[in-house]
Structure 1
Amino acid sequence: MSEPVNGGPALFRLVRFWSRRWAAGAVDERAQHVMAVEAVHAGGEATVNDVAHRLGLDQSGASRIVRDAVAAGYLARGESQGDRRRAAIRLTPAGQVLLAAARSWQRDVFDELTAGWSAADRRRFAGYLDRLADEQGA
């Protein structure tokens, strides 16, 4: 009889480890801009409510993050192409640059954390992380 698979404790150790480093008081303004840019990019055209849902925030928290990212030039508000009555949020060219830099940093962190692993293990783990994120709607 094989031992049951129990990745739960390891998963939550990692969540706690990273959440302590990204606690609300410690998240700097640039990290919030990255979160806003990634939330908008995840669905193309977005509303503040979409951003709130994607980030797991209330509407007022998402509104502040979007407002700050617009002021910084990473996002722009405009008319929805699908429904002109609706306001839409889109990435600006500066937001696209920020997104590319964030994705590059994320790849570097993953590479650093898994540097001692075989290429096959790294690919497998990356695939499982993508699958988990997709299945959870993250």
Structure 2
Amino acid sequence: MTSADGGPALFRLVRFWSRRWARGVAAGAGDTAQHVLTVEAVVTRCRSGDRDGATVGDVARRLGLDQSGASRMVAAAAAAGYVERSRATADGRRSVLRLTLAGRALIDSSHRWQRDTFAELTASWDEKDRAQFAGYLQRLASEVGA
């Protein structure tokens, strides 16, 4: 195998997991993949240092959606109790999003499932290989802004 074979392998994995991950990630009966994606986009933006929180525009950029699609996803996540909208402290005309306790529980559950899945998939690997692969995945995710 050459490094050129990495591309097709990566996309086989993406296709495989894109059809399966939502079943394992959603914590409760009412949770959907859209809720998880929305909450992840909000928490990622909030981690980046913005004191006010995320905006619908941030969610749109993070998920590669137009403003109206992101707005519908945010509205659904808010209706489910995962995010709340409030006014920005710096600019009262701007609406910002923050996670609720239920949103934090959803993201924690999602990350736990992701870690458990990685551990299962690499269970037969030695720890050095697992750590190295995890490092490469983190590096790739950081470099593409994921």
Unaligned runs of 5+ residues in structure 2 are 47-52
2:81 aligned partner, one-letter code: G
- Aligned CA RMSD, in angstroms, stands at 2.0
CA distance in 2, matches of 1:86, 1:54: 18
Secondary structure, counterpart of 2:32 in structure 1: helix
For residue 71 of structure 2, the aligned residue among 47, 54, 63 is 63
Encode CA deviations 1:27-53: one digit per residue, 9 max, x unaligned: 985221111111000011111110011
Secondary structure, counterpart of 2:90 in structure 1: coil
Encode CA deviations 1:57-76: one digit per residue, 9 max, x unaligned: 22111111110110011000
Give the % identical residues: 61
Q: How does 1:1-138 map to 2 (within 5 A)?
A: 4-6=2-4, 7-21=6-20, 29-44=31-46, 45-138=53-146
CA distance in 1, matches of 2:21, 2:119: 20
Unaligned runs of 5+ residues in structure 1 are none
CA distance in 1, matches of 2:13, 2:90: 40
Post-superposition shift, 1:54? 0.6
Q: Which segment drifts farther, 68-77 or 49-58?
A: 49-58
Pair 22,122 (structure 1): closer, same or farther in 2 beyond 3 Å: closer
Compute the TM-score of the two structures, normalised by the length of structure 1: 0.87
